[in-house]
Amino acid sequence: MKYKIPRGTFDILPPASARWQYVISVFRKTAESFGYQEITTPIFEQSELFERSSGESSDVVQKEMYRFSDRKGRSLALRPEGTAPVVRSYVENNLGMLSSRQKLYYVGPMFRYDRPQAGRFRQFYQYGIEFIGSDNPYYDAEVIALEMTFLAALGLQNLRLEINSVGCKACSGAYEEALKAYYRPHLPQLCTDCQNRFELKPRRLLDCKVTSCRQFRAGAPSQLDYLDATCREHFDSVQRYLKLMNVAYEINPAIVRGLDYYTNTAFEVLYDSLGAQNTLAGGGRYNYLIEQIGGKSTPAIGFAGGFERLLLALEQESVELPDELKPDAYLICAGEKAVNLAMPLLISLRTQGLYVDFNADKASFKAQMKAADACGARYAIIIGDDEVDSGKVTVKDLQSGEQVSSEPAELIKVMRP
């Protein structure tokens, strides 16, 4: 019996794993430079948390959630996204009492039972941030700027940032009514999915890919015409801050987010040449979510991006990322006695943080020299009969060819002057 990896999942193997770690480290660094600290929540939560937050009629809850019962019959779900767990933790741990503003980031696997394709998986990895505690439009811009700074730090260029405002409960409701009024006479011409979404999720009609539905999109009313004065001002201020921060954007009144909790600002970062799954990241404000899941009414905003799509985009732009780890040194031993001298040295150098490679299987001196060159090590540490007799080791700089003799204890100084 041969086991296969479950559909829609993947292994992260070396050397690609080094690229993943690099991208994660750049994200952490960027988030920390904006004052964010890491939060880690469990991979599973009570299913109800997602039902209440993502929206019971959302695709994530209706079709994509990995739900299961534990041995006591509790209904649990593998997290399909990171915002609801962060908010659950914020409320449960009273984080609002510790500081009126929480700046949190996370990195980890999410799970959605979706049709796998390029850039869409059943287990995928998200990086995300959540800013909780202020409705100030400055923070909307800051959150967006963080994502754009991260992507720029990786060297990605062909990006587009789209922003929109979906308004507050009042203006959003008025807009959805207008949208329904517009689409109602066309209902018979819409696809079955759109007909089903019409009542509960009229916004979703705007992003239907079916041609017969798309023809109505251009004439549909725009959310931006339905914003009340406060929401309008908020949106204008977000744009003012984005301009001040040199963040380029386009307004797209038809941005439709798949999750139900958004209010006011919604945004997406697109990488067009990725095809159907071209959204690298998405997010927005969710001013009602915290009270919706039992906390005190608190405004918040955040976003999440997918690592898989990001790595695909980086590949398409031929951005070079560090992959293979190159050893600082390769240890070469000729004979058993040499091994006695080499072992304490090997451990000592590794303890001091140097990556020293060594092949314990018997190989000729020549073969070991060849391996040292092939692996890209900077130095070869050579221990043969002469070295055993003198108690010193030979260090060869594999770039310059220079060779020196050193006391084992002094070796680190030769390699890290």
Q: Is 337 in the site for ligand HAM (CB under 6 A)?
A: no
Per CB under 6 A, the list member of 85, 137, 295, 305 interacting with ligand HAM is 305
Q: Is 104 in the site for ligand HAM (CB under 6 A)?
A: no
CA-CA distances (angstroms) from residue 319 to 91, 151, 262?
A: 40, 12, 33
Angle, CA of 382, 383 and 387, to the nearest 5°: 120
Structure tokens at 275: 């095809």
Q: How many residues bind ligand HAM (CB under 6 A)?
A: 28
Query: d(Cα 118, Cα 110) in Å, to the nearest integer?
Result: 17
Q: Is 137 in the site for ligand HAM (CB under 6 A)?
A: no
Query: In the bound complex, what is the minimum distance in angstroms from residue 185's beta carbon to ligand HAM?
Result: 31
Query: d(Cα 415, Cα 330) in Å, to the nearest integer?
Result: 12
Within residues 278-297, the interface with ligand HAM by CB under 6 A covers 279-284, 286
Which CB, 119 or 299, lies closer to ligand HAM? 119
Per CB under 6 A, the list member of 67, 120, 180, 337 interacting with ligand HAM is 120
- Candidates 101, 92, 197, 199; CA nearest to 142 is 101
Which CB, 82 or 327, lies closer to ligand HAM? 82
Structure tokens at 348: 């000592």
Q: x/- binding map, residues 198-237, to ligand HAM, per CB under 6 A?
A: ----------------------------------------
Q: x/- binding map, residues 56-95, to ligand HAM, per CB under 6 A?
A: -------------------------xxx------------
CA-CA distances (angstroms) from residue 209 to 162, 204, 212?
A: 18, 10, 9
| Alpha carbon 37 to chain centroid, angstroms | 15
Per CB under 6 A, the list member of 302, 311, 356, 387 interacting with ligand HAM is 302
Give bridge partners of residue 124 from the DSSP assignment. Answer: 110
| Region for residue 148 given its phi and psi (left: phi exceeds 0; alpha: psi -120 to 50; beta: otherwise) | alpha
Structure tokens at 316: 């398409």
Q: Is 36 in the site for ligand HAM (CB under 6 A)?
A: no
Which CB, 253 or 305, lies closer to ligand HAM? 305
Decide: 84 and 78 in contact? Cβ < 8 Å: no
Which CB, 44 or 355, lies closer to ligand HAM? 44
Q: Of the ranges 14-22, 124-132, 369-377, 408-416, which one interacts with ligand HAM (CB under 6 A)?
A: 124-132
Q: Of the ranges 188-196, 273-281, 339-347, 408-416, which one interacts with ligand HAM (CB under 6 A)?
A: 273-281
Query: d(Cα 49, Cα 80) in Å, to the nearest integer?
Result: 11
Decide: 61 and 51 in contact? Cβ < 8 Å: yes
H or E element that contains 340:
helix 336-351
Query: In the bound complex, what is the minimum distance in angstroms from residue 235's beta carbon to ligand HAM?
Result: 17
Contacts of 256 (CB under 8 A, 6+ apart): 203, 204, 206, 207
Which CB, 161 or 356, lies closer to ligand HAM? 161
Structure tokens at 35: 């004052």
- Cis link prior to 137 (omega < 30° from 0)? no
Per CB under 6 A, the list member of 112, 201, 234, 392 interacting with ligand HAM is 112
Which CB, 264 or 368, lies closer to ligand HAM? 264
Per CB under 6 A, the list member of 27, 50, 106, 121 interacting with ligand HAM is 121
Which residue ranges make up the site for ligand HAM (CB under 6 A)?
81-83, 112, 114, 119-121, 124, 126, 128, 130, 258-259, 279-284, 286, 302-306, 308-309
